Amino acid sequence: MTNIFTSVKGFFGLTYTLLLCFCILVFVQIPEIWETEEEKELSIIALKKRYIALARSRFIRTPSMVVLNKDTNWPIELSNRVINEWWGKSRTRERILSIQLLDVMIEEAKFLNTIEDNKKTPGIENVSYFDNFCKINGRLFKINITVKKMLDKNRYFAYYYAATNFEV
């Protein structure tokens, strides 16, 4: 009985994943970026330096740049926090390149859920998760976005942003 249940669950999970991929590829216009020939010549560190400079010049403002997420209608602030988290965790060329789409990915991201701030960070009420998809160098990537809501304020800010290879 357990083996049949596991097989059925696995079959439907795979079917769901394939259907999701099909819908994304066929019905949704997915943003796409490509690494240039010049960028291919750069080391990972040089590529990161190029894109941290781009990210800071494009997204960091005073007052903060705000992107309206269409799924929740939340105004989400972009700050050095999200850029610094991206910088620290980006170890692949695709993750580095993905920062170009930060504002577009947040604007079009699908809300997944909100949980309490388990770390009990001072000033943070809760943490929300979103995802989106893009193509980088011709391959499909899932974009994971974490947004934190400030305590006693209706302010949301992007905290984490990363691209993970989406394989079926």
Phi-psi region of 97 (alpha: psi -120 to 50; beta: other; left: phi over 0): alpha
Distance CA 85, CA 44 (A): 16
Compute the C-alpha angle 21/97/128, nearest 5°. Answer: 60
Distance CA 100, CA 86 (A): 12
CA atoms in the 13 A half-sphere facing the CB of 117: 16
For the segment 38-71, what is each residue's pLDDT rounded down to a tens digit?
Answer: 999 999 999 999 999 999 999 999 999 999 999 9
The backbone torsions φ and ψ at residue 158, rounded to the nearest 5 degrees and listed phi first, read: -70, 130
DSSP H or E stretch at residue 82: helix 80-89
Query: What is the pTM assigned to this prediction?
Result: 0.81
Residue-level pLDDT at 14: 60
- Which residue bears the tokens 């291919």? 40
For the segment 114-148, what is each residue's pLDDT rounded down to a tens digit?
Answer: 999 988 889 999 999 999 999 999 999 999 999 99
44-59 vs 80-89: helix crossing angle, rounded to 10: 170
Residue 154 pLDDT level (bands cut at 50, 70, 90): confident
Question: Pick from 103, 125, 123, 102: which is nearest to 114 by CA?
Answer: 125
| pLDDT reading at 5 higher than 50 | no
| pLDDT reading at 8 higher than 50 | no
For the segment 92-106, what is each residue's pLDDT rounded down to a tens digit?
Answer: 999 999 999 999 999
**Domains of the chain, residue spans:** 1-29, 31-165
